[in-house]
Amino acid sequence: MKAPVSTAIAIAFGLIVLLGYFIPLPLFNALRDILLEWAIVLAGVAVFVGVANLFLVHGRKISRSQPGSGYSYVVIIAMLATIIVAALFGPTGYWSLWLFKNIQVPVETSLIGVLAIILVYAAARLLRRKLNLFSIIFFATVLVVLLGSVPLLGIEIPGLHGEFGLRSLLIQLPAVAGARGILLGVALGALAAGIRVLMGVDRPYGG
Protein backbone atom coordinates (compact mmCIF):
# COMPACT_ATOMS: atom_id res chain seq x y z
CA MET A 1 0.00 0.00 0.00
CA LYS A 2 1.22 3.39 -0.95
CA ALA A 3 1.91 5.69 2.06
CA PRO A 4 0.36 3.51 4.76
CA VAL A 5 0.92 5.99 7.58
CA SER A 6 -0.70 8.83 5.69
CA THR A 7 -3.58 6.58 4.79
CA ALA A 8 -4.10 5.51 8.36
CA ILE A 9 -4.07 9.10 9.61
CA ALA A 10 -6.48 10.21 6.91
CA ILE A 11 -8.90 7.40 7.67
CA ALA A 12 -8.76 7.92 11.40
CA PHE A 13 -9.28 11.64 11.36
CA GLY A 14 -11.99 11.38 8.76
CA LEU A 15 -13.94 8.94 10.84
CA ILE A 16 -13.60 11.11 13.91
CA VAL A 17 -14.93 14.20 12.17
CA LEU A 18 -17.72 12.20 10.54
CA LEU A 19 -18.80 10.66 13.81
CA GLY A 20 -18.52 14.00 15.49
CA TYR A 21 -21.00 15.45 13.01
CA PHE A 22 -23.53 12.67 13.34
CA ILE A 23 -23.18 11.50 16.93
CA PRO A 24 -23.71 14.25 19.43
CA LEU A 25 -21.33 12.89 21.97
CA PRO A 26 -19.09 15.29 23.85
CA LEU A 27 -16.03 13.28 23.12
CA PHE A 28 -16.61 13.31 19.40
CA ASN A 29 -17.58 16.94 19.50
CA ALA A 30 -14.43 17.91 21.30
CA LEU A 31 -12.25 15.94 18.95
CA ARG A 32 -14.09 17.32 16.00
CA ASP A 33 -13.58 20.88 17.13
CA ILE A 34 -9.90 20.33 17.71
CA LEU A 35 -9.40 18.76 14.32
CA LEU A 36 -11.38 21.49 12.64
CA GLU A 37 -9.25 24.11 14.28
CA TRP A 38 -6.18 22.34 13.02
CA ALA A 39 -7.68 22.27 9.56
CA ILE A 40 -8.42 25.98 9.71
CA VAL A 41 -4.87 26.72 10.69
CA LEU A 42 -3.56 24.50 7.94
CA ALA A 43 -5.82 26.23 5.45
CA GLY A 44 -4.33 29.55 6.47
CA VAL A 45 -0.88 28.16 6.10
CA ALA A 46 -1.91 26.81 2.72
CA VAL A 47 -2.21 30.41 1.55
CA PHE A 48 1.46 30.88 2.29
CA VAL A 49 2.20 27.60 0.57
CA GLY A 50 0.40 28.90 -2.47
CA VAL A 51 2.36 32.12 -2.38
CA ALA A 52 5.60 30.18 -2.10
CA ASN A 53 4.66 27.89 -4.95
CA LEU A 54 3.80 30.86 -7.10
CA PHE A 55 7.10 32.46 -6.28
CA LEU A 56 9.05 29.30 -7.09
CA VAL A 57 7.29 28.69 -10.39
CA HIS A 58 7.99 32.14 -11.68
CA GLY A 59 11.47 32.16 -10.28
CA ARG A 60 12.23 28.92 -12.14
CA LYS A 61 10.83 30.45 -15.26
CA ILE A 62 13.14 33.40 -14.91
CA SER A 63 16.18 31.32 -14.14
CA ARG A 64 15.65 29.14 -17.21
CA SER A 65 14.77 32.08 -19.41
CA GLN A 66 11.68 30.37 -20.64
CA PRO A 67 9.28 32.13 -22.97
CA GLY A 68 7.20 34.66 -21.09
CA SER A 69 9.71 35.09 -18.31
CA GLY A 70 9.26 38.85 -18.60
CA TYR A 71 5.82 38.58 -17.11
CA SER A 72 7.29 36.50 -14.33
CA TYR A 73 9.46 39.45 -13.43
CA VAL A 74 6.31 41.58 -13.11
CA VAL A 75 4.61 38.99 -10.95
CA ILE A 76 7.48 38.64 -8.57
CA ILE A 77 8.10 42.37 -8.33
CA ALA A 78 4.44 43.06 -7.71
CA MET A 79 4.25 40.33 -5.13
CA LEU A 80 7.23 41.58 -3.28
CA ALA A 81 6.03 45.15 -3.44
CA THR A 82 2.61 44.30 -2.07
CA ILE A 83 4.10 42.24 0.72
CA ILE A 84 6.42 45.02 1.64
CA VAL A 85 3.75 47.72 1.57
CA ALA A 86 1.21 45.65 3.46
CA ALA A 87 3.82 44.77 5.99
CA LEU A 88 4.74 48.40 6.46
CA PHE A 89 1.34 50.01 6.38
CA GLY A 90 -0.94 47.20 7.36
CA PRO A 91 -3.45 45.38 5.19
CA THR A 92 -5.91 48.23 5.52
CA GLY A 93 -3.36 51.04 5.36
CA TYR A 94 -3.61 53.80 2.90
CA TRP A 95 -1.03 52.57 0.48
CA SER A 96 -2.14 49.01 0.77
CA LEU A 97 -5.63 50.05 -0.06
CA TRP A 98 -4.27 52.27 -2.77
CA LEU A 99 -2.58 49.30 -4.44
CA PHE A 100 -5.71 47.28 -4.01
CA LYS A 101 -8.03 49.94 -5.25
CA ASN A 102 -6.00 51.18 -8.17
CA ILE A 103 -4.36 48.00 -9.43
CA GLN A 104 -6.06 44.85 -8.35
CA VAL A 105 -9.61 45.97 -8.59
CA PRO A 106 -9.32 47.54 -12.07
CA VAL A 107 -7.40 44.57 -13.39
CA GLU A 108 -9.93 42.06 -12.23
CA THR A 109 -12.83 44.23 -13.21
CA SER A 110 -11.51 44.44 -16.75
CA LEU A 111 -11.11 40.69 -16.81
CA ILE A 112 -14.75 40.38 -15.90
CA GLY A 113 -15.54 42.68 -18.79
CA VAL A 114 -13.57 40.40 -21.12
CA LEU A 115 -15.46 37.52 -19.63
CA ALA A 116 -18.71 39.16 -20.56
CA ILE A 117 -17.65 39.41 -24.18
CA ILE A 118 -16.46 35.82 -24.14
CA LEU A 119 -19.78 34.65 -22.77
CA VAL A 120 -21.72 36.59 -25.37
CA TYR A 121 -19.55 35.12 -28.11
CA ALA A 122 -19.94 31.65 -26.67
CA ALA A 123 -23.71 32.02 -26.60
CA ALA A 124 -23.73 33.29 -30.16
CA ARG A 125 -21.67 30.30 -31.39
CA LEU A 126 -23.50 27.73 -29.30
CA LEU A 127 -25.73 26.49 -32.10
CA ARG A 128 -22.81 26.31 -34.50
CA ARG A 129 -20.82 24.13 -32.09
CA LYS A 130 -23.59 21.69 -31.36
CA LEU A 131 -27.08 21.75 -32.73
CA ASN A 132 -29.58 19.62 -30.87
CA LEU A 133 -32.78 20.03 -28.89
CA PHE A 134 -31.11 20.81 -25.61
CA SER A 135 -28.85 23.40 -27.22
CA ILE A 136 -31.86 25.12 -28.71
CA ILE A 137 -33.66 25.11 -25.36
CA PHE A 138 -30.61 26.47 -23.65
CA PHE A 139 -30.27 29.15 -26.29
CA ALA A 140 -33.90 30.22 -25.98
CA THR A 141 -33.70 30.32 -22.18
CA VAL A 142 -30.67 32.58 -22.35
CA LEU A 143 -32.52 35.00 -24.56
CA VAL A 144 -35.63 35.05 -22.39
CA VAL A 145 -33.72 35.61 -19.16
CA LEU A 146 -31.62 38.37 -20.66
CA LEU A 147 -34.60 40.09 -22.12
CA GLY A 148 -36.52 39.79 -18.90
CA SER A 149 -33.70 41.08 -16.78
CA VAL A 150 -34.14 44.71 -17.76
CA PRO A 151 -37.01 46.66 -19.24
CA LEU A 152 -36.55 47.01 -22.95
CA LEU A 153 -35.79 50.66 -23.39
CA GLY A 154 -37.63 51.36 -20.18
CA ILE A 155 -40.63 49.35 -21.18
CA GLU A 156 -41.58 46.34 -19.17
CA ILE A 157 -43.23 43.78 -21.29
CA PRO A 158 -46.10 42.05 -19.52
CA GLY A 159 -45.59 38.40 -19.34
CA LEU A 160 -41.90 38.77 -19.58
CA HIS A 161 -41.04 41.17 -16.83
CA GLY A 162 -42.40 41.39 -13.33
CA GLU A 163 -42.84 38.98 -10.49
CA PHE A 164 -44.92 36.61 -12.48
CA GLY A 165 -43.33 37.10 -15.82
CA LEU A 166 -41.69 34.45 -17.91
CA ARG A 167 -38.25 35.28 -16.64
CA SER A 168 -39.25 34.88 -13.01
CA LEU A 169 -41.08 31.72 -13.85
CA LEU A 170 -38.06 30.22 -15.60
CA ILE A 171 -35.74 31.16 -12.82
CA GLN A 172 -37.90 30.00 -9.98
CA LEU A 173 -39.17 26.76 -11.37
CA PRO A 174 -37.13 24.85 -13.94
CA ALA A 175 -33.82 26.53 -13.23
CA VAL A 176 -34.01 26.14 -9.49
CA ALA A 177 -35.43 22.66 -9.69
CA GLY A 178 -32.77 21.55 -12.07
CA ALA A 179 -30.14 23.17 -9.94
CA ARG A 180 -31.44 21.34 -6.92
CA GLY A 181 -31.31 18.07 -8.69
CA ILE A 182 -27.77 18.76 -9.84
CA LEU A 183 -26.79 19.68 -6.36
CA LEU A 184 -28.23 16.45 -5.03
CA GLY A 185 -26.19 14.52 -7.53
CA VAL A 186 -23.15 16.57 -6.65
CA ALA A 187 -23.75 15.81 -3.02
CA LEU A 188 -23.92 12.10 -3.75
CA GLY A 189 -20.75 12.35 -5.74
CA ALA A 190 -19.07 14.21 -2.95
CA LEU A 191 -20.23 11.54 -0.55
CA ALA A 192 -18.79 8.84 -2.79
CA ALA A 193 -15.51 10.70 -3.05
CA GLY A 194 -15.38 11.03 0.71
CA ILE A 195 -16.16 7.36 1.18
CA ARG A 196 -13.35 6.44 -1.18
CA VAL A 197 -10.96 8.59 0.86
CA LEU A 198 -12.11 6.95 4.07
CA MET A 199 -11.66 3.54 2.45
CA GLY A 200 -8.18 4.45 1.37
CA VAL A 201 -8.94 3.98 -2.32
CA ASP A 202 -8.31 7.60 -3.25
CA ARG A 203 -5.04 8.76 -1.79
CA PRO A 204 -4.21 12.20 -3.11
CA TYR A 205 -1.64 12.47 -0.39
CA GLY A 206 0.42 9.57 -1.80
CA GLY A 207 4.12 10.15 -1.47
Partner 1 sequence: MAADMAELRCPMCGKANPEELDVCQFCQARLKPVLPSAPIPEDEQAAVEGSSRLPEPAAQDDSLSDWLNFLRDSGAESEGPPAESGGEDQPPPAGELPQWLERTGGEASEPVGEGDSQDWLDSLRKRGEEITGPLGQETVPEESMDEDWPASVKLPDQDYVPEWLAGASLGDQAGEPLAEPPSEEESSLESDDEPDWLQKIRLRQRDETEESQSVESAPAEEPGMPDWLGEPASGVPAAPDEPAESVSDWLADLRSGGAPVGEEVELPEAPATGEELPAAEQELEQPLEETPAPPPEILEEAAAPVLGAAEEIPTAPQISDEEIPDWLAGLVAGKAAAAAAGSVEADAESLPDWLADLDKPSDADSGVIVPFGEEEPGLTFDWLQEQVRADQGLAVPPPESSEAEEVQAEKITPFVGDLSDFLEEEYLSTPEGERPPAAQPEEGLTPAELPNWLEAMRPLDAAAMSAAVLDEGESQIESSGPLAGLRGILPAEPDVARLKKPPTYAMRLQVSESQQANANLLDELVKTEGQPRAVRMGAAITSQHVWRLIIFVVLIGVIIWKALTGSQEVALPQPLPEILDTGSVIGALPSNSVVLLAVDYEPGFSGEMKATSAAVIDHLMLKGAYFALVSTSPAGVGLAEQLIQDASALGGHQYQVIDRYANLGYIPGGPMGVVGFANAPRKMTPFALDVDSTAVWSREPLQRVTRLADFDLVAVLTEDADTARVWIEQVQPALDSTPLVMLLSAQAEPMVRPYYQSSSNQVQGMVAGLLGGGSYESAHQDLLAGDGPARRYWDAFSLSMLAAVILIALGGLVSLLTQALASRDTSEGEKKS
Partner 2 sequence: MNYMDLLTSQGAVGLAFVVIFFFLVIILAAAGRSRSVQNLREIQAFAKLGRAIGLAVEAGKRMHITLGWGGMIDLRGSSALVGLTVLERIARLASISDRPPVATSGEGVLGVLSQDTVSGTYKSIGAGFQYNPAAGRVTGLSPLSYAVGALPVIYDEHVSATVLAGHFGSEGALITDAAERSGSLSLAGSDSITAQSVFVASAQEPLIGEELYAAGAYINSGLIHVSSVRAQDVFRWVLIIAILVGAVMKMLGLL
Binding mask 112-131 for partner 1 (x = CB under 8 A): x---xx--xx-xxxxxx--x
Interface with partner 2 includes 22 (CB under 8 A)?
A: yes
DSSP characters over 142-197: HHHHHHHHS-BTTBPPBTTBSTTSHHHHHIIIIIHHHHHHHHHHHHHHHHHHHHHH
- 80 and 52 Cβ atoms separated by less than 8 Å: no
CA separation (Å) from 181 to 30, 136, 177, 178?
Answer: 34, 21, 6, 5
Report, in Å, the least distance between residue 197 CB and partner 1: 17
Question: Amino acid identity of 23?
Answer: I
Question: Amino acid identity of 51?
Answer: V
Q: Which of 24, 26, 153, 207 binds partner 1 (CB under 8 A)?
A: 153
Residues 93-152, interacting with partner 2 (CB under 8 A): 108, 111-112, 114-115, 118-119, 121-123, 126, 129, 138
Distance CA 113, CA 117 (A): 7
Binding mask 36-75 for partner 2 (x = CB under 8 A): ---xx-xx-xxxxxxxxxx-xx--x------xx--x----
Interface with partner 2 includes 86 (CB under 8 A)?
A: no
The binding site for partner 1 (CB under 8 A) comprises 36-37, 39-41, 43-44, 47, 90-93, 96-97, 100-101, 104-105, 108-109, 111-112, 116-117, 120-121, 123-128, 131, 139, 142-143, 146-147, 149-154, 156, 161-163, 171-172, 175-176, 179-180
